[in-house]
Amino acid sequence: MSLRERLPLGVTAVMLPELDFDEQVRLCVELGVTHYVFRPREIPDGQRGEAYSNWGNHRFDLPPQRLAAEGEALGERLREAGMTAWCTVPRADAGDDEATLDLHLRGAAAAGCASIRLSPKGYPGGVFDFGDYLTQAIADYRRVVAQAQSHGLKVVIEMHAGNAACAPGLARSIVETFDPSDLGIILDLPNLAREGAVSPGLGVSVIEPWLDHCHVGGCRRVAGEPDDLGFRQTGSEMCALSECDLDIPAWFACLAATGRTAPLVIEDYSPGLSGESRLRRSVDEIGRLLEAMEEAPTP
């Protein structure tokens, strides 16, 4: 199996706010993007009718209830186009109530997705008893994995800045007692650039048995203003993959070295560009990198 077959391209729909569903599908087919990730969400109050944006108004309005009702037809449209309904990423966590989770699970199953992302419940601010938190988080996932299995779905945890799985070791501490076919990990590269980064070889080695897929995008640190005591504050911004603070070629080389199939789901929210422009740029950058890796395989 070629490297491009093992690391196929995908996209999370939230990065294409200007396009309706059929336009998203046509663009993906044109660019060779095969794995589609649904983002069921409510358009925030006050955003309807405003300019389209990643976190605001969307042309393809997909609240969770709509995905549950129309998921079968949407998934069939993807399959007709030769694409895969890969995953859903609702705004939900493993500690949510059963009815809320059931709505999201029904939507993912209706669309024919393989998995659903459910975040760990938020952790307290400041110093806290991590052992107690971890025990509860694992219990939450035991419950939700069983609930997801009744819908034929796998649960995946995203290594996202601000959650308790932001770093490889933290993510593994939650999933370690689970079968990887039941609970997996999304390696999120732009979020690792914000919080939780380690060396590529270490990071991939820690999560490899549970690695499900990757979120791919660029992120870099930016300098802020000093605080009242003169200590410089920092932030981050999305950017082209080629401008990311992480060593993206090294991360890709480690992914390739595992021999696993792991879709590269593009999530580029760089400001100042349309979703289509960002997707085209990312596909080009990833394509050039994979081509170079094919020509000079990792030892």
For tokens 């919080």, name the residue: 195
| pLDDT tens digits for range 4-35 | 999 999 999 999 999 999 999 999 999 999 99
d(CA 269, CA 53): 9
One DSSP character per residue, 195-218 reads: TT---HHHHHHHHGGGEEEEEE-E
State the DSSP H helix or E strand holding residue 221, giving kind and residue range, or none if neither: strand 218-226
Mean pLDDT of all residues belonging to the chain: 96
| pLDDT tens digits for range 239-266 | 999 999 999 999 999 999 999 999 999 9
Say what the pLDDT of residue 298 is: 47
299, pLDDT greater than 50: no
Least confident window among 144-148, 187-191, 292-296: 292-296
What pTM was estimated for this model as a whole? Answer: 0.96
Amino acid residing at 171: A
Domain parsing of the chain, residue ranges:
3-219+246-295
Long-range contacts of the stretch 55-60 (C-beta < 8 A, 24+): 55/14, 56/17, 57/17, 58/14, 58/17, 59/17, 59/18, 59/19, 59/20, 60/13, 60/16, 60/17, 60/19, 60/20, 60/21, 60/24
First to last CA, the chain: 17
| pLDDT tens digits for range 111-138 | 999 999 999 999 999 999 999 999 999 9
Say what the pLDDT of residue 143 is: 98
- CATH of span 3-219+246-295: 3.20.20.150
